Structure 1
């Protein structure tokens, strides 16, 4: 007897977060209920296999089958590619190991994709900040959250991979699917989304569900905020540079925008810092984004992922 392929595969890259992974898997179990058309793949990016016990315990306690795979080469692209190597379904839902889905989750996203006919469908990811950061929540939360204002609809922009459902029907995937050259600096998801959109794929927003994104204490720090904002600012200029001579007008545009952001938010950050206002965090991030647009080349890209992550 040949088992039919699942309709949906949930792909979870993970790296040395067994407790977070357990929380995510338990939330998935609660969301799926009696649903039997969904497969789960965990791609462990740690050669020490620190996620294995969490996966085995979850499978034993819930009776759910989990395809556990090891991605020995460090890097977020490598982990996602290993996860995708086991996909045989029409739909793929990407979740990050620090997320926690809030039921009903999968069904509303799937319904949105079907109703709108979108190849990429995103759902809200709301930052759950660590204790002690309450005073800064207004400025920290937008950095780690992925939210589009408004109702369920077709949208133009894309968000992060965690919380994205991909309809693979009629889609030609790149090889490798996620670019290993972006393992440590990020942006591999933007390149993947751009590849699908270039084939005519549309983007949808599912407003009627959500997931939590749990932020660890070491990321709710000024140094990490700076690196992440700086890398975010680099992205549009670097993408323009990748187009060669055709991208030079865009490089000029983003450099000017970055200069304006720096001139505006640099002084505002210093002033709000002198006044000891929490709002300094917002200007701090915008200053980093502005400088990232100006200093966009790879040698200056913060290493946010992989073996050199800081």
Structure 2
């Protein structure tokens, strides 16, 4: 391990693992020095640290934080980040509202303290620009590499728990923000950003906008496949799995799912089925649960109460094994699904994985294992310890967003969700089964219909920053205008604002 101590973008000391000075000649500029150290020491962990935090560096936990080579972790104890909050106007991911009390997935890095393996820097050196400020250098690296398999975190464990040191966080200018958006998003977003400034802040930012147009978007295709991953983190204790499946009116499809589970090279211990039928006096139609022999225990609950949120929560209360496979009743998968899952879990040291889930004729688009802001409630494998005191929120029943909310609950407890593209599930999208009650939402008779859906509003109100919510509102309004019967712009804006207010009202009622 090598520690680069810096101040004002300049290296002031180079230390070894014992915090003793090293006699190595380096460029004073911190980003340039980082690249030079990576080249000179190609298989080591490089820590950068502002000189104010040197004595607060938690060296005892570095092996736990950086448990494989493809991890970038940093931490900023301040609530203010390098990029201004206005980045939320253009970004729609759940990576900006950072929970700084836990390890949290985000590309929002900090120069205060952090680290990365030198093999990552050496793999990407031709696509890095050391001539920018160190914060811009780091955040650009994380933003582009995160979608290509670099695991990026805000990690409070980098500092000792009794640390009370705070320093002034470097701030990006408005021009820096526009440059960042132009280099890391599609070109149209710089114009949208300027529109947000005008609409919400009454500012005309013409110069930063024009200046950004002289720059090209940086390459987003960063290759980290040469950085071999072998986690030292102990995740697996027992390969015991419970499967939870909510079902309603799809007995033939569910039968096929059970057959796929029965053919697994690594069998589940329990399969927990929650069957719903809203018809009064009805009984289970899943006769084959008792008439056939299954190589696992089936726990079957029959309920007249509809709703997938309720069904999954009932199933979660029955879980006993170390791992939980969240499945749907209309999926198919090969016999190696669970066996290959544990190989990946061991290799990457992960507690939650999302499988690649495609329709029968859908082509695969994403091929790299990476962190994801998505959680699939019908195609995920989760370690049971992550599920303690976690349930699906009933406010989302019969709406949209319950799986995203569940995933965010897990992230805010310090667990990361990893997309695994090489383990595949086919989602048949079976026709809706019988005896499903048509649910009339409480806002169905409103003269002004809420926009967006109140459940989506609730999701974004909970997990978006204020600027993300405003950016989403403007974007939704612009997109909806094309399909609106109201073509007078001023009349449309008044109507849309009323729809947004009704959405906020009902989201509060749901919550």
Once the two structures are TM-superposed, the CA of residue 173 in structure 1 deviates from its matched residue by 2.5
- Contact 2:452 2:500 survives alignment (8 Å): no
Question: Could you report, residue by residue, the CA deviation over 1:239-284 in whole angstroms, capped at 9, with x for unpaired residues?
Answer: 23347xx8543332101121333356x59xxxxxxxxxxxxxxxxx
Corresponding residue for residue 150 of structure 1: 367
Once the two structures are TM-superposed, the CA of residue 195 in structure 1 deviates from its matched residue by 0.9
Query: 1-side partners of 2:325 and 2:462: how far apart?
Result: 28
Query: 2-side partners of 1:233 and 1:65: how far apart?
Result: 39
- Contact 2:401 2:456 survives alignment (8 Å): no
- Contact 1:237 1:250 survives alignment (8 Å): no
SS of the aligned residue for 1:86 comes to coil
Once the two structures are TM-superposed, the CA of residue 11 in structure 1 deviates from its matched residue by 0.6
Once the two structures are TM-superposed, the CA of residue 218 in structure 1 deviates from its matched residue by 6.4
Q: 1:16 to 1:91 in 2, by over 3 A?
A: same
Once the two structures are TM-superposed, the CA of residue 50 in structure 1 deviates from its matched residue by 3.2
State whether structure 2 residue 330 is matched by structure 1 residue 116: no
- TM-score after normalising by structure 2: 0.41
Q: 1:217 to 1:75 in 2, by over 3 A?
A: closer
Question: Where does 1:90-169 land on structure 2 (aligned, <5 Å)?
Answer: 90-128=322-360, 141=362, 149-151=366-368, 153-169=369-385
Question: Could you report, residue by residue, the CA deviation over 1:270-302 in whole angstroms, capped at 9, with x for unpaired residues?
Answer: xxxxxxxxxxxxxxxxxxxxxxx968828989x
Corresponding residue for residue 311 of structure 2: 79
Higher-RCO chain (CA-CA 8 Å, sequence separation at least 6): 1
Query: 2-side partners of 1:12 and 1:205: how far apart?
Result: 21
Once the two structures are TM-superposed, the CA of residue 72 in structure 1 deviates from its matched residue by 3.4
- Contact 1:116 1:204 survives alignment (8 Å): no
Corresponding residue for residue 259 of structure 1: 477
Once the two structures are TM-superposed, the CA of residue 92 in structure 1 deviates from its matched residue by 0.4
Once the two structures are TM-superposed, the CA of residue 217 in structure 1 deviates from its matched residue by 4.9
- Contact 1:18 1:50 survives alignment (8 Å): no
Corresponding residue for residue 396 of structure 2: 182
Query: 2-side partners of 1:119 and 1:76: how far apart?
Result: 24
- Contact 1:12 1:83 survives alignment (8 Å): yes
Corresponding residue for residue 53 of structure 1: 287
State whether structure 2 residue 27 is matched by structure 1 residue 27: no
Q: 1:258 to 1:294 in 2, by over 3 A?
A: farther
Query: 2-side partners of 1:183 and 1:213: how far apart?
Result: 21
Corresponding residue for residue 43 of structure 1: 274
Structure 2: 5+ residue stretches without partners: 1-237, 434-449, 485-498
Corresponding residue for residue 11 of structure 1: 244
Query: 2-side partners of 1:298 and 1:16: how far apart?
Result: 34
Of 383, 388, 410 in structure 2, the residue corresponding to residue 172 of structure 1 is 388
Q: 1:37 to 1:101 in 2, by over 3 A?
A: closer
Aligned residues: 239
**RMSD between aligned alpha carbons?**
3.5
Q: 1:254 to 1:89 in 2, by over 3 A?
A: same
Corresponding residue for residue 250 of structure 1: 468
- Contact 1:42 1:68 survives alignment (8 Å): yes
Of structures 1 and 2, the larger Rg is shown by: 2
Q: 1:38 to 1:13 in 2, by over 3 A?
A: same
Structure 1: 5+ residue stretches without partners: 129-136, 220-229, 268-292, 302-310
- Contact 1:10 1:93 survives alignment (8 Å): yes
Corresponding residue for residue 282 of structure 1: none
Query: 1-side partners of 2:289 and 2:472: how far apart?
Result: 44
- Contact 1:116 1:154 survives alignment (8 Å): no
Question: Could you report, residue by residue, the CA deviation over 1:44-87 in whole angstroms, capped at 9, with x for unpaired residues?
Answer: 12263434313223xx2445431112243211111001111111
Q: 1:63 to 1:202 in 2, by over 3 A?
A: closer
Query: 2-side partners of 1:164 and 1:188: how far apart?
Result: 14
Question: Could you report, residue by residue, the CA deviation over 1:110-143 in whole angstroms, capped at 9, with x for unpaired residues?
Answer: 3223322223201111113xxxxxxxx6xxx58x
- Contact 2:251 2:285 survives alignment (8 Å): yes
SS of the aligned residue for 1:97 comes to coil
